[in-house]
Structure 1
Amino acid sequence: MPSMTEPKLISGNSNRPLANAIARRMSMHRGMNVGLVDARVERFNDQEIFVEVFENVRGEDMYIVQSTSCPANDNLMELLIMTDALRRSSADRITAVIPYFGYARQDRRAKARTPISAKLVANLLTEAGVGRVLTMDLHAAQIQGFFDIPVDNLYASPIFALDIEHHFKSKLDQVTVVSPDVGGVARARELAQRIGCGLAIVDKRRVKAGEVAEMTVIGDVAGQTCIIVDDICDTAGTLCKAAEVLVEAGANEVHSYITHGVLSGPAVERVTKSVMKSLVITDSIEPTEQVKKAKNIRIVPTAPMFAQAIMNIWSGTSVSSLFDAETLSPIYEGMYSRM
């Protein structure tokens, strides 16, 4: 049964443009204004975070839009404190909409005496009062099991499939999807199946963290348009090196589709100087001005998908329907027409 109250959005400071875009999309679908709840999320002089909600939220179905991207700790604390403020204000249900889930790469103990930080974050969110989590492309799917509350993990691959079919429609028979490492094969295979093309793998060996010693291409990429797909691009060193290896193996051109453009340190400079024709990222993390100005970086919107997912959660209908490109095509208003 649909809730009698309207869904209400509130945003932290990590990605307010995305929150506003989600609100606009929901306004279009609801036929009424869906704005962000009036609140202030600010810092005292000693950098303590303070939250004040200026509207009545008693009994409301609340959705906090907040990526826990850089600065991860500040944005995570904002999310926790906003949750506490809403819980103490008697909100009926609190859903954390976390387009980029920080600390997801710390999902297991890789060696002795190390934390499982993703599990700690899950505990913090639950204890703060979050009743449900909506996120996109978790780095490790098992993180959903770290929570004892419902977790809806959306996928960027349907959006990417629409984008690829639109931009490469004249040469889809020459496209090969590439996983930049063995661990990402399942993600790459799923996208390859969506668009009906081949699959290749770049096998990498590391001497130490952040330093790749050797890369080998598994599969035939000669004469192909290669599309590297991954969930996170941080410093872009591995990504740019993989593009070089593919070109050396005979690829005509290389493009990359990455869900979360962390793009820290020298990443943008590396991408602009690389052999990659384009890097496509989503707006799960608010892009910097440097990213926006980069000539070969393109950003695809996630607001239509998140807006629909929020409305489906609110109305008690299926979120998994958004895993299908056919469902997303009308949501994206013909942006990626199959014609």
Structure 2
Amino acid sequence: MPFDTGNMRILTGNANPDLARKIADHIGVSLCDAFVGHFNNGETQVMIGESIRGKDIFIIQPTSFPVNDNLMELLIMADACKRASARSITAVVPYYAYARQDRKTRGREPISAKLVANLMTTAGVTRVVTVDLHAGQIQGFFDIPVDHLAAAPVLGNYFKRQNYEDLVVVSPDLGGVTRARILADRVHAPIAIIEKRRPKPGCAEVMNLIGEVWGKTALIIDDIVDTAGSLCEGAKALKAHGAKRVLASCTHAILSAPAVERINASPIEQLVITDTIPLPPEKQSDKFVVLSLAEAIGDVIVRILSHQSVSMLFNR
């Protein structure tokens, strides 16, 4: 899609520079000359090495581990761009941290997802692009435009190419039914639902299975895999209910310890993830397949700059 790239600049922090480079390569531009590091006392240091006055800035920075360091990099980069007279500042945050703290479930709890939204806006961000928010209503925490992208087209295209027989898409909980339905529609498969309860944070118990998985290839779809406890318990339950094979997929692979060990020891044959969060060497596994969202995000950036519909990208 031809368009003038002369007025745009892409910056990246240290959260996922590989993804930023892939996005820039897809669009056909170079990354902006900038240094993002630390002073000796640990404070974040940002130096932009070229003029960005009047430019449309896109900062590629998921707020993955280390969460607070990467969040501060994003905020300080935005502030630097604002003070350098950038025309617009779009924060491309493929993984939005603190999204699971989107409401008060008991007294004296923060709503940290709203706080992060306020921080971004105060720092000078004029638009946000993100992928598969844990709670879609977080878009309403912002008073600036938010483009909420879905990984379903990329994941769906991958699974359609695999031509699995008797595929059934499984939601790991009642809250993920809409996500499962979207993927199921793309791969033309029925859905099943795992009913579970959480007796305490980080602990899940499977109670019931809604739907038919006997003799089928079950594909669990979730937005986040953190410690993988729920995922692996769900996989065991599917096997116990007669599933022939168990596959899994998620957008954001946090993979906190002991997630990799749990997945390797589980009935899950394959976990398909995206590159919203980089996968370090110590978290590699033969069961993992990583799909890149660089082209999809790059196309979104092009459409934002050329004032075209973003949602059209996700209807194909």
TM > 0.5:
yes
* 5+ residue gaps, structure 2: none
Give the Cα–Cα distance (whole angstroms) in 2 for the partners of residues 4 and 297 of structure 1. Answer: 35
Give the aligned residue type for 1:310: I
Give the Cα–Cα distance (whole angstroms) in 2 for the partners of residues 4 and 218 of structure 1. Answer: 50
Provide the residue aligned with 1:183 in structure 2: 175
Where does 1:54-73 land on structure 2 (aligned, <5 Å)?
A: 54-73=49-68
Provide the residue aligned with 1:135 in structure 2: 130
Q: Which moved further from structure 2: 179-188 or 215-224?
A: 215-224
Give the aligned residue type for 2:298: A
Provide the residue aligned with 1:45 in structure 2: 40
Q: Give SS of 1:260's match.
A: strand
Give the Cα–Cα distance (whole angstroms) in 1 for the partners of residues 286 and 139 of structure 2. Answer: 36
Provide the residue aligned with 1:16 in structure 2: 17
Where does 1:144-163 land on structure 2 (aligned, <5 Å)?
A: 144-163=139-158
Q: Give SS of 1:194's match.
A: helix
Give the aligned residue type for 1:186: T
Deviations 1:17-71 (A, max 9, x none): 00001011111xxxxxx11101111111221001000010000000000000111
Give the Cα–Cα distance (whole angstroms) in 2 for the partners of residues 297 and 145 of structure 1. Answer: 34
Give the Cα–Cα distance (whole angstroms) in 2 for the partners of residues 150 and 105 of structure 1. Answer: 21
Moved >6 Å (runs of 4+): none
Give the aligned residue type for 2:187: I
Give the Cα–Cα distance (whole angstroms) in 2 for the partners of residues 135 and 206 of structure 1. Answer: 28
Provide the residue aligned with 1:75 in structure 2: 70
In the alignment, is residue 259 of structure 1 matched against residue 251 of structure 2?
A: yes
Q: Give SS of 1:51's match.
A: strand
Give the aligned residue type for 1:196: H
Provide the residue aligned with 2:92 in structure 1: 97
1:191 offset after TM fit, Å?
A: 1.1
Q: Indicate if the aligned counterparts of 1:154 and 1:322 stay in contact, CA closer than 8 A.
A: no
Provide the residue aligned with 1:318 in structure 2: 309
Deviations 1:258-277 (A, max 9, x none): 00000011111111111101
Q: Indicate if the aligned counterparts of 1:5 and 1:61 stay in contact, CA closer than 8 A.
A: no
Give the Cα–Cα distance (whole angstroms) in 2 for the partners of residues 5 and 282 of structure 1. Answer: 30
Q: Indicate if the aligned counterparts of 2:20 and 2:60 stay in contact, CA closer than 8 A.
A: yes
Deviations 1:82-133 (A, max 9, x none): 0000110011100000010001111111111101100000000001100000
1:287 corresponds, among 279, 288, 291, to: 279
* 5+ residue gaps, structure 1: 28-33, 327-339
Provide the residue aligned with 2:299 in structure 1: 308
Q: Give SS of 1:95's match.
A: strand
1:290 offset after TM fit, Å?
A: 2.5
1:210 corresponds, among 183, 186, 202, to: 202
Give the Cα–Cα distance (whole angstroms) in 2 for the partners of residues 144 and 190 of structure 1. Answer: 19
Provide the residue aligned with 1:221 in structure 2: 213
Q: Indicate if the aligned counterparts of 1:257 and 1:280 stay in contact, CA closer than 8 A.
A: yes
In the alignment, is residue 123 of structure 1 matched against residue 125 of structure 2?
A: no
Provide the residue aligned with 1:200 in structure 2: 192
Matched residue pairs, number?
Answer: 314
- When residues 170 and 69 of structure 1 are mapped into structure 2, their CA distance, relative to the original with a 3 A threshold, is closer
Give the aligned residue type for 2:52: V
1:206 offset after TM fit, Å?
A: 1.9
Percentage identity across paired residues of the two chains = 49
Give the Cα–Cα distance (whole angstroms) in 2 for the partners of residues 101 and 170 of structure 1. Answer: 32
Give the Cα–Cα distance (whole angstroms) in 1 for the partners of residues 16 and 191 of structure 2. Answer: 34
- When residues 19 and 218 of structure 1 are mapped into structure 2, their CA distance, relative to the original with a 3 A threshold, is same
Q: Give SS of 2:99's match.
A: coil
Give the Cα–Cα distance (whole angstroms) in 2 for the partners of residues 241 and 318 of structure 1. Answer: 40
Q: Indicate if the aligned counterparts of 1:7 and 1:311 stay in contact, CA closer than 8 A.
A: no
Alpha-carbon RMSD: 1.2
In the alignment, is residue 297 of structure 1 matched against residue 288 of structure 2?
A: yes
1:5 offset after TM fit, Å?
A: 4.2
Provide the residue aligned with 1:335 in structure 2: none
Q: Indicate if the aligned counterparts of 1:283 and 1:300 stay in contact, CA closer than 8 A.
A: yes
Give the Cα–Cα distance (whole angstroms) in 2 for the partners of residues 110 and 101 of structure 1. Answer: 20
Give the Cα–Cα distance (whole angstroms) in 2 for the partners of residues 6 and 209 of structure 1. Answer: 47
Where does 1:231-242 land on structure 2 (aligned, <5 Å)?
A: 231-242=223-234
1:216 offset after TM fit, Å?
A: 1.9
TM-score norm. by structure 2 comes to 0.97
1:170 offset after TM fit, Å?
A: 5.2
Provide the residue aligned with 1:250 in structure 2: 242
1:3 offset after TM fit, Å?
A: 7.3
Give the Cα–Cα distance (whole angstroms) in 2 for the partners of residues 213 and 285 of structure 1. Answer: 27
